[in-house]
Chains A and B, each alone.
Chain A
Amino acid sequence: MRLQKLTVPLAAVGILVAALLPGIGGDIEKADASTTSTCGEVNIAVNNWVGYEADAFVVGEVAQKRLGCLVNYVYVDEQISWQGFASGQVDAVLENWGHPELIDLYVKKLHAAQDAGSIGITGQIGWYVPPWMVKKYPDILDWKNLDKYADLFKTSESGGKGQLLDGDPGFVTNDEALVENLKLDYKVVFAGSEAALIQAFRAGEAQKKPVLGYFYSPQWFLAEVPLQKVKLPPYKDGCDADAAKVDCDYPDYPLHKIVSNQFAAGGSSGYRLVKNFTWSADDQNLVAKYITADGMSPEEAADKWVTTHPDQVDAWLRGTS
């Protein structure tokens, strides 16, 4: 019994000693600390649409492989990422869609974050239908005619009205307000994610099933199935100022980067990289297609793009060393 009582403290001491003992002939390669001294840790928010994933992993892989940064991918929704600026859990958001209210709060009031420039892409949001529907119902692309077709879009979840399929509840959307203010005979039903939207549209085109849904560009899927955009009342400055009274189309979104003030002031080479990062919608769609259609991991997809576009990557690295 006494021996047994001794086992616990002895084992604890043994494990501690084993942990502290210097190694003899160990083969673990330690990273070279000198290359990373100008970068350190970079926490990149990853929001849940694949175009964003492409931005995040291309920047992340370059930061890791070329600058020796310690990159953490923080998987959170787009609005929740902003909360991370204040607490230091997020350093960079790489594709911001508008969000004037968040800019007001986190940039102007809390002084936690700042703009870090455009990524070179303009985003668009709207309502789309699969191409077969346009051939069969040519006037469907005007919002005024949507009520005429509401019956086509009925489902078990739309309560006798037409179904307008939305994506993730966290995406930028005015659809509930639009349906109400344009007095359309529709109900917004949330598919829950980008992937669910794509699946619905793909099945809709293949099986000639009616689908009306929220979608956006840049989006690689538009190359697979060229969805057609429904015309909503044109956007005018300020027509979307009151979220509950929106009755106009979505504006164009110049997609841009936001970084935390702490990250910008810290002198990290990772910050220079983020600031320099721009590319085109085609670039983003290519990486997004690698990830979804070709089933690569985001890291593999980003690596493939980075190795085939050395000039662009070098331009991003200007001023980092």
Chain B
Amino acid sequence: VTTLTREPETTTQPDQEPRPASSPARRLGRGWLVLGVVVVWTVLAVVFQGKRTLVIGGADQVGVQNWIGDRANDLVTAGSDNFFLSITSGIADALDAVLQWCQLLISTPAFPSPYPHIGFLGVLAVAWFVTALVAGWRMSVLTAVCFALFALLGFYESSMDLLIVTLVSVLLSVAIGLPLSVWMAHSARARAVLTPVLDVMQTLPSFAYLLPLMLLFGIGGPAAVICTLIYSLPPLMRIASHGLQNLPQTVLEATDSMGQTTWQRLVKVELPMAKRTIIVGINQTTMAALSMATIAAFINGPGLGQPVVRALNALRVGDAFVPGLCIVLMAIMLDRVTTAASEHSEKLNRGQARETAARRAVLLSVAAGITVLCVYASRHYTFAARPWDSSLGDGVSNVVQTVIDWISTNWAGATSAIADGFTSAVINKIEYVLAGSPWFVTGLAILAIAMIVGGWRAAVATVVCLAGLRWLELWNNAMITLTATLVAALVVMILAGVVGVWMGRSRQADRVIRPLLDAGQTLPPFVYLIPVLALFGPTRFTAIVAAVAYAAPPAIKIVADGIKAVSSATVEAAESAGALTIQIITKVQIPMARSAFTVATNQGLLYVLAMVVIGGLVGAGALGYDVVAGFKQLDTRGRGLAAGFSIVLLGVMLDRITTYAARRAEGRA
């Protein structure tokens, strides 16, 4: 499993000697400079004592925010008189028709029958058969078990709804993304135009665009599909265009010499050769779509997100856990099946022995026959139409609730002591400097740090983003959100440093930990909130813990791979020179895997930012809360939209600074 988000164009080049541009001495100097900036910043924070921090009242909506809110309200009032809105509502209606058709087919009752057109057993059989066809027999068992569990846990209908939204979004991603990827692969101009667009699409925390989309597409399924699409399109386009661009030139030239047209070349040579990469892209897109489709529950997007949100609202952690478990099952199922499908297609391409092929064909025909029978039965017999029923879901829910209740009554003192202690010792201190300094001091300090670590290009991006933040008039909240992001990212990097180095050095550790990280990465962000919220209540600390849990796996993996890539010859040389293990780690492996650390920081920060915003729901406050409130209250809609833009600016700023820092680390600055 590759990481969901893009990796700034760095390939770890372990054997490369550091270029003069970032000689150790210069790097050390930079470290001192950053420290100097922080010291001056802290002193100024103390001197000015909270003056000019641009705090605005919790429900106030000022200046430019009012203007944004008025424009949004104009749009709603104009309704279908507005040309743009008439187009979006047309799209919404078409999508709604498609979704409803799918729902009647497999999830909601098709009146006058109390069951959908194809009942439970029929759907299970079709899923089983299709998986067997594209991904092999072993995977088909996994699919059947997952479908059975959706029903046994009591969330069959919601699971099917989530599956529909996810698959429709993925199909649209492929329909839109594949042609664009082909274009990107063939035209440098297309790449130049589309790459920054994809950057922004992926840097946007999903919560920030729920509100604008709701205004344009209304509530419900269509808006859910559109917001899922925005989030899930970039991985496919990046991976597919990369795959198409890097095909072996010799094959292309050889087939060109036979006089093929461009179209023939594309359809007969390029697409089939890049098939495997494209399927990897579809896998990534599917996982992204799944995690976003659950968040879309906030705009009444159908699916498993809804019972999770409802149970969280009622503080019934046990009840939230069961649909959360179904989301996890679906993530595992879709991930494994699409991954297996790419391997399977390769195996079939290579061709099989005649007997195996014949046996497979016979088996598939039998399976097809069984499937046809199940579909028929599920349309006419209750036993096949009704989802299997059990008290499994209630049982799981009760056990979880009991455990949580026990922990929260017996450990309440300890958990709140941890949360309060960390909040006052770390979060409040950093917030005091970032959000408690006058805005121009904080702005100049951030700019100075950007200049030192990322060079003048990072500084230019930072100036633009900071100016935007100042203009949107949510400066103080932006700094509070930035604090939470930095604290969480710091913890993520410490974890990545310890666990990643351990995994990079020990094959055994890697073998045990990596599958856990892979599983962690397939979980939608929402799922992380549930247990943390139960333990620590609605506080900033909760949001930070959830963000760390969400961002740590990708960061750890990147560091582990970086450490592993350090050439063994170098390590052996150091060993034979009598270096101690700790010296090898700190003097050889970490410095040589430097660029992996910067990439991990970049990824960690963006993942953390996305999660900290969702944390607005559980007491993290600041920009995340502004987005949520703007989305729920008409009065503060302008402020909510401004908060969404502010989050985007924060994301772009952090991304640019760390990307340019990563390039520097590679000596290409």
Contact = CB atoms under 8 A, between A and B. Distances in A.
Interface of A: 1, 3-4, 7-8, 10-11, 14-15, 17-19, 21, 23-33, 36, 48, 50, 70, 74-80, 83-84, 86-87, 89, 101-102, 105, 109-110, 156-157, 168-170, 174, 176-177, 180, 188-196, 199, 243-244, 292
Interface string B116-134: 0110001000100100010
Interface stretch (B450-458, B597-605, B627-635): B627-635
B76 interface: yes
Contact of B113 (A15, A28, A101, A174): A28
B211 to A, nearest CB: 10
A14 B372 contact: yes
Given A11-B129, A77-B632, A79-B633, A18 B300 contact: no
Contacts of B112: 30-33
B312 A89 contact: no
Contacts of A87: 89, 92, 218-220
A244 B60 contact: yes
Majority SS at the chain B contact face:
helix
B315 interface: yes
A21 B619 contact: no
Given A28-B381, A169-B625, A292-B314, 7 more contacts: A15-B372, A19-B118, A21-B376, A74-B220, A86-B218, A87-B89, A109-B77
A89 B423 contact: no
B539 A157 contact: yes
22 contacts: A3-B361, A10-B365, A10-B368, A11-B371, A14-B369, A15-B371, A17-B372, A18-B122, A23-B381, A25-B380, A28-B385, A30-B112, A80-B300, A84-B220, A87-B218, A87-B219, A89-B220, A101-B635, A156-B424, A170-B629, A189-B619, A196-B315
Contact of A48 (B313, B361, B380, B628): B313
Nearest to A207: B412
B358 to A, nearest CB: 7
Contacts, number: 191
B315 A195 contact: yes
Nearest to A169: B629
A191 B619 CA distance: 7
Nearest to B541: A156
A195 B314 contact: yes
Nearest to A197: B315
A190 B538 contact: yes
Q: What 3 A-B pairs come out closest when comparing CB atoms?
A: A26-B380, A23-B380, A170-B632
Contact of B368 (A14, A50, A101, A169): A14
A191 B118 contact: no
B57 A176 contact: yes
B420 interface: yes
Contacts of B129: 11
Contacts of A177: 57, 59
Contacts of B587: none
Nearest to B629: A169
B111 to A, nearest CB: 6
B360 interface: yes
Nearest to A2: B361
Nearest to A170: B632
Given A7-B364, A75-B300, A190-B538, A105 B617 contact: no
Contact of B423 (A74, A105, A156, A244): A156
Range for the number of chain B residues in contact with chain A: 35 or more
Contacts of A105: 73, 76-77, 634
A127 to B, nearest CB: 16
A86 B58 CA distance: 30
Interface string B349-387: 000000001101110110011011101100111100100
A15 B368 CA distance: 8
Nearest to B351: A1
Contact of A3 (B220, B358, B372, B632): B358
B445 to A, nearest CB: 22
A89 B218 contact: yes
B331 interface: no
B350 to A, nearest CB: 13
A245 B513 CA distance: 56
A76 B634 contact: no
Contact of B619 (A75, A77, A190): A190
A25 B379 CA distance: 11
B299 interface: yes
A135 B358 CA distance: 85
B379 A18 contact: yes
Contact of B117 (A8, A19, A76): A19
B299 A80 contact: yes
B540 interface: yes
Contacts of A18: 122, 372-373, 375-376, 379
Contact of A193 (B312, B625, B631): B312
Nearest to A106: B76
Contacts of B218: 83-84, 86-87, 89
Given A80-B219, A89-B220, A169-B628, A199 B375 contact: no
Contacts of B57: 176-177, 180, 244
A168 B313 contact: yes
Contacts of B423: 156
A25 B92 CA distance: 41
B371 A169 contact: no
B115 interface: yes
Contact of B379 (A26, A84, A169, A196): A26
Contacts of B424: 156
Contacts of B73: 105
Interface in B506-545: 538-541
Contact of A110 (B79, B372, B632): B79
A110 B358 contact: no
B315 A188 contact: no
A77 to B, nearest CB: 5
B300 A74 contact: yes
B119 to A, nearest CB: 8
Contacts of A10: 365, 368
A37 to B, nearest CB: 11
B224 interface: no
B306 interface: yes
